[in-house]
């Protein structure tokens, strides 16, 4: 018996995706999934652990090719970079024209474009699919961003669409996904948060998968997803630091605040899991878990790619860039050790700091604050900052799509991010609505909901940034969001002076406000102006 699809790489993501595929393919057509791993024993162990999946285990790329019905489809779930190249090379050796290689890893989109060009020389299709949702998403239903030709998408759609997350429509709520239960057959199912399985047949399902363009488009959109993810996480972390520092709330108390926020416009997976993390107690010490984690953040690179690509495209993505830099700063131990000699207000953001501050018996840094007012102000600041991070991300998608001729539908992108992925949020419905109302929307800023929300929240963002600056609490993402906001609404920016400076030292020329043309001032001569 042959398999309809193969999965290469049986790490956690690959295993879970393969199980998800097996479940849906078997239900639909009795079709099977073949799995292959360079570590063949690992693939065999997966098949032994999950007999219900009825995997066909391949012992080599050639064996995998022989087990797949044509035109063959193989999904790579291996590490981005050299491992992906090597797996592609192995498949090109044994696949035939018309077969499809799918890269489901977090590959750099320019690598995907280049790999596609190479693989197509053998007549083989290459499709880059951004897959978001982590381990649980891979098993229960990820959000998937597909980049490839129309013909490849037609072949892949019946295979991938059934395994994608489904967003509920109509009520404005993103599907919850922290809660999940194992059903009697070992399948993970969505839960309604109280442990009761949700019958997906009851809701109007919308599959969180879309064809977002050719070649590198899928990985490009996934990259931006991750850039927004970095910004969202950093903004939430800054809100936590502020609530702790300004109000002295414990992590568990902040968790309660976040749970409350999660019932409103900030409802999102990241707020939901943040409350879980903050409420967790370290078993070894009895301390809040967040206080025993080293404050040095890792990064696999996708946030940095978003920023570099934004710079290349000339798109300002300052809040995302600050989120990436904040991780770098957190890990810069030598730099930070020199910081102990620097002055400023005491800015307790952890239990250690709180103890040190009270031992030092320092004077309070500012006037007493009203708890409810601070919480509401920080909530509004967080929501406003989050909108601005999305504005930046969607601007970059639009610019990238234009640069590469992808014709990416931004409304579709928002639609497939409403469930399954890490940044899923109630708020995505608003973005979908905005693009549905005006498919040619130039920016989220041109939509009245986002304008109204920003106008309603800007004062809170301003107050929060000012308060944090006075208190010495670092809030780079919130501060950059505010500067981005003010930069956009400024009718006349300081860039005029920068143009003057450029012309002075480099004859870089400038335009004038009062007439068209290109001009240069003879700075080292008589300072008269010439038109070029």
How big is the site for ligand 6PG, counted in residues (CB under 6 A)? 14
Residue 236: which H helix or E strand, with range?
helix 217-247
The order of strands in the sheet holding 209-213 is 56-57, 33-36, 5-8, 73-76, 100-103, 125-132, 143-147, 209-213
Which range in 68-76, 285-293, 300-308, 393-401 contacts ligand 6PG by CB under 6 A?
300-308
The phi-psi region of residue 527 (left if phi > 0; otherwise alpha if psi is between -120 and 50; otherwise beta) is left
Instruction: Provide the token pair at 74.
Output: 């193989």
Pairing state between β 529-531 and 56-57: unpaired
The phi, psi pair for 6, rounded to 5°, reads -115, 145
| Cα dihedral across residues 379, 384, 385, 389: positive or negative | positive
Task: For residue 74, give the 3-state DSSP assignment.
Answer: strand
* Distance between CA atoms of residues 394 and 391, nearest Å: 5
Which position among 10, 16, 106, 453 is part of the footprint of ligand 6PG (CB under 6 A)?
106
| 300 forms part of the interface with ligand 6PG (CB under 6 A) | yes
Looking at beta carbons only, is 254 or 422 nearer to ligand 6PG?
A: 422
State the alpha helices, DSSP H only, in 314-424: 318-331, 333-338, 351-360, 371-404, 410-416
Q: Is 229 a catalytic residue?
A: yes
Looking at beta carbons only, is 6 or 303 nearer to ligand 6PG?
A: 303
Task: For residue 168, give the 3-state DSSP assignment.
Answer: coil
Closest distance to ligand 6PG from the beta carbon of 451 (Å)? 29
| 133 forms part of the interface with ligand 6PG (CB under 6 A) | yes
* Distance between CA atoms of residues 479 and 294, nearest Å: 24
Q: Which of 67, 125, 168, 222 is catalytic?
A: 222
Q: Is 396 a catalytic residue?
A: no
Closest distance to ligand 6PG from the beta carbon of 42 (Å)? 21
Which position among 51, 195, 286, 298 is part of the footprint of ligand 6PG (CB under 6 A)?
298
Looking at beta carbons only, is 61 or 303 nearer to ligand 6PG?
A: 303
Which range in 90-98, 177-185, 246-254, 298-306 contacts ligand 6PG by CB under 6 A?
298-306
Q: How far, in Å, are 197, 200, 380, 399 from residue 453 at the CA level?
A: 35, 32, 9, 24
Which range in 147-155, 265-273, 292-300, 375-383 contacts ligand 6PG by CB under 6 A?
292-300
Which range in 81-89, 130-138, 348-356, 358-366 contacts ligand 6PG by CB under 6 A?
130-138
Instruction: Provide the token pair at 381.
Output: 């600041």
Closest distance to ligand 6PG from the beta carbon of 137 (Å)? 6
DSSP state at residue 249: -
Looking at beta carbons only, is 47 or 297 nearer to ligand 6PG?
A: 297
| 307 forms part of the interface with ligand 6PG (CB under 6 A) | no
Which position among 245, 268, 274, 302 is part of the footprint of ligand 6PG (CB under 6 A)?
302
Looking at beta carbons only, is 106 or 268 nearer to ligand 6PG?
A: 106
Closest distance to ligand 6PG from the beta carbon of 301 (Å)? 6
| 90 forms part of the interface with ligand 6PG (CB under 6 A) | no
Looking at beta carbons only, is 212 or 249 nearer to ligand 6PG?
A: 212
The phi, psi pair for 57, rounded to 5°, reads -95, 125
* Distance between CA atoms of residues 170 and 434, nearest Å: 15
The phi-psi region of residue 219 (left if phi > 0; otherwise alpha if psi is between -120 and 50; otherwise beta) is alpha
Tokens 């442990």 locate to 195
Task: For residue 206, give the 3-state DSSP assignment.
Answer: strand
Closest distance to ligand 6PG from the beta carbon of 142 (Å)? 7
Count the residues in the chain: 532
Residue with CB nearest ligand 6PG? 132
Strand partners, 73: 100
Residues 221-280 that bind ligand 6PG (CB under 6 A): 225-226, 229
Exposed e or buried b for every residue in 448-482, given b needs 16+ CB within 10 A? Answer: eebeebbeebbebbbbbbebbeebebbbbbbbbbb
DSSP state at residue 328: H
Which range in 257-265, 294-302, 411-419, 432-440 contacts ligand 6PG by CB under 6 A?
294-302
Closest distance to ligand 6PG from the beta carbon of 106 (Å)? 5
* Distance between CA atoms of residues 380 and 261, nearest Å: 10
Closest distance to ligand 6PG from the beta carbon of 128 (Å)? 14
Site string for ligand 6PG, 406-435 (x = CB under 6 A): ---------------xx-------------
Looking at beta carbons only, is 177 or 302 nearer to ligand 6PG?
A: 302
* Distance between CA atoms of residues 28 and 4, nearest Å: 12
| 506 forms part of the interface with ligand 6PG (CB under 6 A) | no
Closest distance to ligand 6PG from the beta carbon of 67 (Å)? 29
CA geometry: angle at 177 spanning 176 and 180, to 5°?
120
Closest distance to ligand 6PG from the beta carbon of 371 (Å)? 32
* Distance between CA atoms of residues 211 and 505, nearest Å: 48
Q: Which of 125, 140, 229, 272 is catalytic?
A: 229
| 51 forms part of the interface with ligand 6PG (CB under 6 A) | no
Closest distance to ligand 6PG from the beta carbon of 326 (Å)? 12
Looking at beta carbons only, is 80 or 318 nearer to ligand 6PG?
A: 80
Catalytic residues, which ones? 222, 229
Binding footprint of ligand 6PG on the chain (CB under 6 A):
106, 132-134, 225-226, 229, 298-300, 302-303, 421-422
């Amino acid at each position: 018996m042959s398999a309809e699809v193969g999965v290469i790489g049986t790490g956690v993501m690959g295993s879970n995706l393969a199980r998800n595929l097996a479940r849906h393919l078997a239900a639909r057509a009795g079709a099977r999934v073949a799995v292959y791993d360079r570590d063949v024993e690992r693939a065999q162990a997966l098949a032994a652990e999950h007999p219900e999946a009825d995997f066909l285990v391949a012992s080599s790329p050639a064996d995998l090719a022989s087990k797949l019905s044509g035109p063959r489809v193989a999904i790579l779930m291996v590490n981005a970079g050299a491992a992906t190249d090597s797996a592609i090379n192995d498949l090109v050796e044994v696949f035939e024209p018309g077969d499809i290689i799918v890269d489901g890893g977090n590959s750099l989109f320019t690598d995907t474009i280049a790999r596609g060009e190479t693989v197509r020389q053998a007549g083989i299709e290459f499709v880059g699919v951004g897959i978001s949702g982590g381990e649980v998403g891979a098993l229960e239903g990820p959000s998937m961003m597909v980049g490839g030709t129309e013909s490849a998408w037609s072949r892949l759609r019946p295979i991938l669409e059934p395994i994608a997350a489904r967003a509920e429509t109509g009520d404005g709520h993103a599907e919850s996904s922290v809660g999940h239960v194992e059903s009697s057959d070992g399948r993970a199912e969505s839960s309604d948060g109280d442990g009761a399985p949700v019958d997906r047949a009851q809701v109007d399902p919308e599959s969180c998968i879309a064809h977002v363009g050719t070649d590198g488009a899928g990985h490009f959109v996934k990259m931006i997803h991750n850039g927004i993810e970095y910004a969202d996480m950093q903004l939430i972390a800054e809100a936590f630091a502020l609530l702790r520092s300004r109000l002295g709330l414990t992590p568990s108390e902040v968790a309660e605040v976040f749970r409350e926020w999660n019932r409103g416009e900030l409802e999102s997976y990241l707020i939901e899991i943040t409350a879980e993390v903050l409420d967790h107690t370290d078993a070894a010490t009895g301390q809040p878990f967040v206080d025993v984690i080293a404050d040095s953040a890792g990064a696999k690179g996708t946030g940095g790619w978003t920023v570099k690509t934004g710079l290349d495209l000339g798109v300002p993505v300052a809040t995302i860039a600050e989120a990436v830099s904040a991780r770098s700063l957190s890990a810069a131990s030598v730099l930070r050790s020199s910081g102990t000699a620097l002055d400023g207000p005491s800015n307790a953001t952890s239990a250690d700091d709180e103890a040190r501050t009270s031992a030092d018996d320092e004077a309070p840094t500012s006037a007493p604050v009203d708890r409810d007012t601070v919480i509401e102000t920080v909530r509004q600041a967080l929501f406003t900052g989050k909108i601005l991070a999305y504005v930046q991300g969607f601007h970059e998608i639009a610019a990238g799509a234009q640069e590469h001729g992808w014709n990416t539908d931004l409304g579709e992108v928002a639609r497939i991010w409403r469930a399954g992925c890490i940044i899923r949020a109630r708020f995505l419905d608003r973005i979908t609505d905005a693009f549905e109302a005006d498919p040619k929307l130039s920016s989220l800023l041109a939509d009245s909901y986002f304008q109204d929300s920003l106008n309603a929240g800007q004062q809170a963002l301003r107050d929060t940034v000012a308060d944090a600056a006075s208190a010495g609490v670092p809030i780079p993402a919130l501060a950059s969001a505010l500067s981005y906001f003010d930069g956009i609404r400024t009718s006349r920016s300081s860039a005029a002076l920068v143009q003057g400076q450029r012309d002075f030292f480099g004859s870089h020329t400038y335009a004038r406000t009062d007439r068209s043309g290109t001009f240069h001032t003879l700075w080292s001569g008589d300072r008269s102006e010439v038109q070029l």
